Amino acid sequence: MEQAIWAENLTKKFGSFTAVDAISFTVGQGEIFGFLGANGAGKTTAMRMLSGLSFPTSGKARVAGFDVYKQPELIKRHIGYMSQKFSLYEDLTVQENIRFYGGIYGLSGAEIRSKTEQLLQELDLEWIAKSQVQSLPLGWKQKLAFSVAQVHNPSIVFLDEPTGGVDPITRRQFWEMIYRAADRGVTVFVTTHYMDEAEYCDRISIMVDGRIAAMGSPGELKRDNNVPSINELFVRLARHTSSNM
Amino acid sequence: MKTFWAFVKKETIHILRDPRTLIILIGMPIAQVVLFGFAITNELNDARIAIFDGSKDPVTIEIADRLTSSGFFQLAVELKDESQLEQAFRHDRVKLAVVFPPEFQDHFFREDSPQIQLIADATDPNTATTLVAYASAIIRQYEQEKKGSATLPYAIQTEVRMRYNQELKSVFLFVPGVITIILMLVSAMMTSIALTREKELGTMEILLVSPLKPAVIVMGKVIPYIALGLANVAIILVLATTVFHMPIRGSLPLLIAESLLFILTSLALGIMISSRVQTQQVALMISLMALMLPTILLSGFIFPIENMPWLLRAISHIVPARWFIVIVKGVMLKGAGMAVIWKETLVLVFMTLVLIGGSVRSFKLRLE
Amino acid sequence: MSIYINHISKSYGPVKALDDISFEVSKGELFGLIGPDGAGKTTLIRILTTLLVPDAGTARVLDLDPVKEFRKLRPHIGYMPGRFSLYQDLTVLENLNFFATIFGTTIEKNYHLIADIYSQIEPFKNRRAGQLSGGMKQKLALSCAMVHEPEVLILDEPTTGVDAVSRKEFWEMLARLKERGITILVSTPYMDEASLCDRVALIQNGHILQVDSPASIVESYDRPLLGVRAQNTLRLLEDLRHYPLTHTAFPFGDSVHLALTGEQTDGELLDYLQKKGHTELAIEPIAANIEDCFMELMTEKIA
């Protein structure tokens, strides 16, 4: 089976500064992969390369079967993206947001209509389909944003710090949505600096100073390093490093 | 007092560490004066004129000759008949028409005040007044040479007629206008932005929680902008007098004092705006719409107030810039002193007091 | 008593941000206000820091009324707002100097108060605040909030958006400040930070769910709680929801926390799950954590 994401010695330099330093990893189809690191550890840079937004300085990578150098446009068409900060237009209604994203991914009118109906039904949002997004609670917005990121049935979804600030129940409902997506075969790539999110992933990597300092399933990593939580492992790995200065 | 200066220092650092904005703030008055200035002087090279000579005697021929050889004017048409004037303006696009009456030479030497008509296209009033001024100067010079400089008043009467915009008043209108706009921009817009920036950053929360008095916060923030405003006045005046030889006929200290007054008016407006909005973007929009537009359009800078419909004319009374422009024009161009401009000054003082009172009151001690 | 909150309510238009909130914070206590975004944490903090006026109820901070005696109160509060609220274009030293001066003091005079925190960023004192890392910004903000020797420190989500290492260091700093007798009220959306406080108030949708020490809150959880693991977590979750004794089932990382309505007889659950075809099963009784308690309290509130 083809890997959803395959990276080998992927490197990005900005002048003399190496933001991402020869990272290698693979993510299987349908896997939930947590990409952890402090702010400035190189997460965002790595994710930009993988989503076709910036070219690597060196190294190789294939995403959804496409080459990051030669086929960035095809990559963009086959991935979904959701960030905590931005994804939905607050002054558009729920329905308008879904239609808009369907439109920019080139869905036909009929597809958009049926997809809108399907999403509203799945999310139980039919009764407020015509409300502006800004009137929704944060948790609902996040669920809607996650669905909208999959409006074009991408095989990989990138989530950038998806669940910060919501209450614990809503957060678990959100993770249940992620599990469901993975169950359908969608690969979920989560970048975050909240270490407790890591525990929900099938496999995680911890980035420190542009390098991958640890990789494996949360259970394995905790067992191998003899720590009670990923949080503690992270603190141990990242303490007294330059990204922390 | 120490806290106050700490505040002023901090604000000054903000301004100095943002070189892009600073360059715009200093560069804008220079750019405006130069643009306005050269837009006018450029027109003066080889401006197209029409001449109707009803005398065709040596005097009129020489005057016409001096006009066309001055470099400022270029003879576009020689009219056979006064009725061709309209045609000359409309079709030959002349900017100025010079009309000599019959038997000009006889009148000239008999010293019974012959009249030359100068008819200008005043759709562009600044150009028109400048053209008329230049033409008049050339005629005066001719007269002086012929009769000696002692014979004042001048014998030749130039009758000036402005076509299409007969209300036009004065040359160098643009300098008072530029001073007004720049001061409004620096003082009102920049302070409203600087104050809302604190709200956006969240630092306003800490300032409010500190023992600082609101008056100290506001004063500390605006003082550097007063300095910046005065610097702009200086830049504009230096440029206007050196590059464009504009006179300052009245008292310079008075002019600066009046500018300071107008800066205070504008600052108060800026503070009022900032107390009502939460983001820099909104502050900028409101400053532009509610302050800059009236300042440009309703102050008499571009459109003469006398020609406005009564409603706009009425509204113009509450635009501070309207009064300030009158003051600057009076002091700079007419050499007016307090005796002449006391009314406008009083209006501005009154406005400033009301606005400062209002802005201090509207400054919120809390977040709501 | 350092902070006293009595039946406070506050609305923004139709939205009730705070609904009849009451609790107290003792002198020298490290008190956590714990709840998700939109729970009302910031509103409550702004009321206590004199920045907002409540619609109903009263509050007292250091025995002063934040509404009527705000001028007297303000100099005694150290406040760190939710956003990074320092001047990005000023250097570390310039920021600290400015805040010392506006509170009528100097860095030299109160250096001993901030030495512990400030010494860590002092090597970068000529760097502009905007160029600091998240953790260093926090240290600077805390130094600025402490420099005037406040008796009570009120911090609004100081650890949000900050990486785990900086979070840990920040809580270590708070613990040292507490040792010096400063009362600290800190809000956070991270449930795991509750255990670092002396006492916490759990807050959700403008309501206080519970106020107590973290240990007592966890102890007061009175349902049987099981940690259940299986090969397929999603299917496990779905099947557990249909188990007759299930009260709630929530995913917790790679396991599911299952709260029961009553004690199960031995092996009953294992049997049920095996019949559903689950493999790699592991079931063990576990102690509740703050998040379990928070969710239980939320569920009770809804019911």
pLDDT digits (tens, 9 = 90+) for A172-186: 999 999 999 999 999
Question: Which one, of B247, B116, B261, lies nearest residue B183 by Cα?
Answer: B261
pLDDT of C83 higher than 70 = yes
Whether residue A192 has pLDDT greater than 60: yes
- Examine the domain organization and report whether C10 and C84 are in the same domain: yes
Q: pLDDT tens for residues A35-59? A: 998 877 888 899 989 988 889 999 9
Same domain membership, residue A185 and residue A82: yes
pLDDT at B157: 65
Both C166 and C269 in one domain: the answer is no
pLDDT at B40: 57
- Mean pLDDT is lowest, of A202-211, B329-338, B349-358, for B329-338
Domain residue limits at A134: 88-148
Q: Are residues A125 and A202 in the same domain?
A: no
Closest residue in A to C39 (Cα–Cα):
A167
The tally of domains found in chain A comes to: 2
B10 with C98: Cβ contact below 8 A = yes
When the pLDDT of each residue in chain C is averaged and rounded to a whole number, the result is: 93
Percent of chain B scoring above 70 in pLDDT: 89
Contact B58, B105 (CB under 8 A): yes
Which of the listed residues A96, A124, A148 is the one where a domain comes to its end? A148
Å between C12 CA and nearest CA of chain A: 14
Q: Are residues C205 and C273 in the same domain?
A: no
B113-145: pLDDT as tens digits: 788 888 887 766 667 777 888 888 888 888 878
* Cα–Cα distance measured from residue A49 to residue A76, given in angstroms and rounded to the nearest whole number: 11
For position A83, what pLDDT does the model report?
80
Domain hosting residue C70, numbered range: 3-219
pLDDT for the residue B44: 63
Chain B residues in contact with C144 by the CB 8 A cut-off are 206
Same domain, A104 and A223: no
- Res B155: pLDDT: 58
- Rounded Cα–Cα distance for residues B336 and C204 (Å): 69
Q: Do C133 and A164 touch (CB under 8 A)?
A: no
Query: Both A193 and A138 in a single domain?
Result: no
Phi, psi of A193 (to 5 degrees): -115, 10
CB contact under 8 A, C298 and A193: no
Touching A (3+ Cβ pairs <8 A), the chains are C
Q: Quick check: is C293 in a domain? A: no
Cβ of A193 within 8 Å of Cβ of C163? The answer is yes
**B44-163 is classed CATH 3.40.1710.10:** yes
Q: What is the pLDDT of residue B348?
A: 94
pLDDT of residue A245: 43
Do A40 and A143 reside in the same domain of the chain? no
Q: Are residues A34 and A82 in the same domain?
A: yes
Please indicate whether, in this complex, the C-beta atoms of C89 and B367 are within 8 angstroms of each other.
Answer: no
CA distance C74 to A216: 51
Whether residue A161 is found in the same domain as residue A92: no
pLDDT of residue A241: 59
Find where tokens 């804008």 sit: B28
Q: Which residue has the higher pLDDT, B297 or C92?
A: C92
Q: Are residues C183 and C254 in the same domain?
A: no
Are C214 and C253 in a shared domain? no
Q: How confident is the model at residue B167 (pLDDT cuts 50, 70, 90)?
A: very low
Q: Are residues A50 and A143 both part of a single domain?
A: no
Alpha carbon of B4: minimum distance to chain C alpha carbons (Å): 8
* B287 DSSP 8-state letter: I
pLDDT over 70 at A208, yes or no: yes
Contact between B3 and C51 using a beta-carbon 8 Å cutoff:
no
Q: Are residues C152 and C265 in the same domain?
A: no
Per-residue pLDDT band for A244 (boundaries 50, 70, 90) equals: very low
- Band of residue A240 on the pLDDT scale cut at 50, 70, 90: low
Report the CATH number that the domain containing residue C214 is assigned in CATH. Answer: 3.40.50.300
pLDDT at C230 over 90: yes
Instruction: Give yes or no: residues A75 and A41 share one domain.
Output: yes
Identify whether C297 is part of a domain: no
**Interatomic CA distance for residues C207 and A167, integer angstroms:** 13
Position B279 pLDDT exceeds 60: yes
Sort C107 into a burial class: Cβ within 10 Å, 0-12 / 13-18 / 19+. middle
Q: What is the pLDDT of residue B161?
A: 63
Q: What is the pLDDT of residues B36-60, one digit of tens each?
A: 766 655 556 678 888 988 888 888 8
Sequence-separated (6 or more) residues with CB below 8 Å from residue B268:
B352, B355, B356, B358, B359
Among C39, C133, C190, the residue with its CB nearest the CB of A244 is C133
- Inter-chain CB proximity C83 and B212 less than 8 Å: no
Any idea what the CATH number is for the domain that residue C239 is in? 3.30.70
The 10 Å Cβ neighbour count of residue B258 is 24
In this structure, the answer to whether residues C211 and C237 fall within a common structural domain is no
Assess if residue C44 is contained within a domain. yes
CATH number of the domain encompassing residue A164: 3.40.50.300
What was the pLDDT predicted at B246? 76
What's the number of domains chain C is made of?
A: 2
Each residue of B186-240: pLDDT tens digit? 889 889 999 999 888 888 888 888 888 888 888 888 899 999 999 999 998 998 8
The residue from A148, A167, A192 where one domain ends is A148
Task: Spell out which residues of chain C touch residue B6, defining contact as CB-CB under 8 Å.
Answer: 97-98, 101-102
pLDDT at A242 over 60: no
Distance from CA of C85 to the nearest CA of B (A): 5
Strand intervals (E) in C100-245: 152-156, 183-188, 199-204, 207-212, 225-229
In this complex, is the C-beta atom of A228 within 8 Å of any C-beta atom belonging to chain C? no
Probe site for chain C from A167, A186, A230 (most C CB atoms < 10 A)? A167
In a domain, C211, yes or no: yes
Q: Based on the fold, state whether residues C93 and C168 are members of the same structural domain.
A: yes
Is the same domain home to A200 and A96? Answer: no
B280-308: average pLDDT: 85
Least confident of A49-58, B355-364, C55-64, C102-111: B355-364
Instruction: Place B163 in a pLDDT band, splitting at 50, 70 and 90.
Output: low
Q: Do B210 and C88 touch (CB under 8 A)?
A: no
Chain B: touching chains (3 or more CB pairs < 8 Å): C
- Amino acid of residue B324: F
C191 lies in the same domain as C63: yes
| Domain shared by C66 and C115, yes or no | yes
Tell me the average pLDDT across C162-191.
Answer: 92
Residues C207 and C242 in one domain: no
- Residue A165 and residue C165: Cβ atoms within 8 Å? no
Residue C302: inside a domain, yes or no? Answer: no
- Whether C193 shows a pLDDT value over 80: the answer reads yes
What is the domain partition of chain B in residue ranges? Answer: 2-39+172-362, 44-163
Per-residue pLDDT at A126 exceeds 80: yes
pLDDT given at position B169? 37
